[in-house]
Structure 1
Amino acid sequence: MTSAQTDKTGRGADDRIVELEVWTDVACPWCYIGATRLAAALDGFDRRDRVRVTWRAYELASDAEAGAGRREVDALVDSKGMTVEQVQHMFGQVSQVAAGDGLQLDFDATIAANTFDAHRLVHLAGAGTAQGGRVLRALYRAHFADGVAVDDVDALVAIAEEQGLDAGAVRAELADRDSAAAVGVREDELLAARFGITGVPFFIADRAYAVSGAQPVGVLTELLRTAFDGTEDD
């Protein structure tokens, strides 16, 4: 097969786009790690310009009270029946892994949050765009490193402004529970249920190849290669 051969869509195999969908939650440290590893995989991938990433919403705690302002450690002690020592030990393990990927997590400052509005902000920025990816990374950083309550409207508007979004438009969006972005978040979650996704991060390439969890860079690179090579004609 030559590079000029066409794939099953009729496009040239040398210009085909792979659609990579990533289900993630802003309040999931493994999602932050997974997103960082995906960025590293894409940076070293020879067909990076032909991968389109779409960030899809998943709420690990959709029933979490918005605006409660509780420390994450206290929220987990109550919701999981764990001791403070057990939670802190778990946080220590996650922080150690994250540090290996260049991330500094401050769980002592992390505030438990309902992430629905944060997901709406990603959709408003463009879940399938570079700006949407930047907003998501800013939300991760705000939640896990800066002690920001990512279910606070003023905090979300500030993050949006820092990433180049219009503050007035964002505030109006967050005031409308039935906005287009809100619908988009719910559709993402319905898709997750349809695909049987029960944990995040979860990566699906071309809705044909999938891996779950904060996989190493090499595994994510292999997912991308399989998506390209596995869909070409023999």
Structure 2
Amino acid sequence: MKIEVWSDVVCPWCYIGKRRLRHALARFDHAGEVEVTWRSFQLDPTQRRGDNRLTTEMLSGKYGVPAAEASAMQERVTAIAAEEGLTYHLDKSLTANTFDAHRLTHFAATRGLADDIHERLFQAALMEGEAVDDTETLARIGTDVDLPADEVRKVLDGDAYADDVRGDIREARALGANGVPFFVFDRTYGISGAQPIEVFLATLEKAAA
């Protein structure tokens, strides 16, 4: 079985969805036959590189709500993440253009490290308050998961895998995904959003049958 997951590394619900899928797979009898492929998606492709603001400030402006209300939104997501064993610090999280982070993930996939770098990027963005559009930060994250430093730098300094990222985004749109996380099972069943573990498990069983 092939599961394709469209997500963005600054998306707190995407990390929650990733963790819930993992929990569901732990309860699935045929987990060893499942291949998970990470696909790229940008929640805000217009975000300028290096123009990093606190996400709370961005949410306040985007939804036209007071900063306190935006903080409360973040706190609710943090509490839900904690139920999945994730320790968010969304008060420190920054907006970032994630295009290069997705390019790096595609490179990591060629070395069998897509899941590792995906996990590390989520941690950097949602737990550590890192700017995941900063080249030096991405270079360090690449070496954190044992990617060769010189090859990571070559990817980041050029435009390698840019077409792959754009292709993933076009494909998500073609499949009807307007947001993430979005999970597709064998191109037959889809789950939109970080649904409960039971929904993932039921879909795994249905796809297997």
Normalised-by-shorter TM-score class: over 0.9
Per the TM alignment, residue 166 of structure 1 is displaced from its structure 2 partner at its CA by 1.0
Q: What is the alpha-carbon distance in structure 1 between the residues aligned to residue 27 and residue 145 of structure 2?
A: 25
Q: SS of the counterpart of 2:74?
A: helix
TM-score normalised to structure 1 length: 0.86
Q: Does 1:198 align with 2:178?
A: yes
Corresponding residue pairs, total: 209
Q: What is the alpha-carbon distance in structure 2 between the residues aligned to residue 172 and residue 182 of structure 1?
A: 13
Q: What is the alpha-carbon distance in structure 2 between the residues aligned to residue 156 and residue 131 of structure 1?
A: 15
Per the TM alignment, residue 169 of structure 1 is displaced from its structure 2 partner at its CA by 0.9
Per the TM alignment, residue 204 of structure 1 is displaced from its structure 2 partner at its CA by 0.6
Q: SS of the counterpart of 2:113?
A: helix
Q: Provide Cα deviations, 1:100-149, integer angstroms capped at 9, x if missing partner.
A: 1111110121111111111111111007x752011101100110111111
Q: Look up the match of 1:216.
A: 196
Q: SS of the counterpart of 1:199?
A: coil
Q: Does 1:111 align with 2:94?
A: yes
State, as a whole percentage, how many aligned pairs show the same letter.
39
Amino acid at match of 1:191: E
From 110, 130, 133, give the equivalent of 1:148.
130
Larger relative helix fraction: 2
Q: What is the alpha-carbon distance in structure 1 between the residues aligned to residue 47 and residue 14 of structure 2?
A: 18
Pairs within 5 Å for 1:1-234: 18-126=1-109, 131-177=113-159, 179=160, 181-229=161-209
Q: Provide Cα deviations, 1:12-58, integer angstroms capped at 9, x if missing partner.
A: xxxxxx11101101111000100011111112211111111001111
Q: Look up the match of 1:10.
A: none
Cα contact 2:3–2:185 (8 A) shared by 1: yes
Q: What is the alpha-carbon distance in structure 2 between the residues aligned to residue 185 and residue 65 of structure 1?
A: 17
Compute the RMSD of aligned alpha carbons.
Answer: 1.3
Cα contact 2:74–2:91 (8 A) shared by 1: no
Q: SS of the counterpart of 2:48?
A: coil
Q: What is the alpha-carbon distance in structure 1 between the residues aligned to residue 68 and residue 176 of structure 2?
A: 33
Per the TM alignment, residue 173 of structure 1 is displaced from its structure 2 partner at its CA by 0.8
Amino acid at match of 2:205: R
Which consecutive unaligned segments of at least 5 residues does structure 1 have? 1-17, 230-234
Per the TM alignment, residue 206 of structure 1 is displaced from its structure 2 partner at its CA by 0.7
Q: Provide Cα deviations, 1:170-191, integer angstroms capped at 9, x if missing partner.
A: 11111222x2x21111110010
Q: SS of the counterpart of 2:191?
A: strand
Per the TM alignment, residue 79 of structure 1 is displaced from its structure 2 partner at its CA by 3.1
Q: What is the alpha-carbon distance in structure 1 between the residues aligned to residue 153 and residue 63 of structure 2?
A: 33
Q: What is the alpha-carbon distance in structure 1 between the residues aligned to residue 49 and residue 60 of structure 2?
A: 18
Cα contact 2:4–2:183 (8 A) shared by 1: yes
Q: Which has the larger radius of gyration?
A: 1
Q: SS of the counterpart of 2:5?
A: strand
Per the TM alignment, residue 78 of structure 1 is displaced from its structure 2 partner at its CA by 2.7
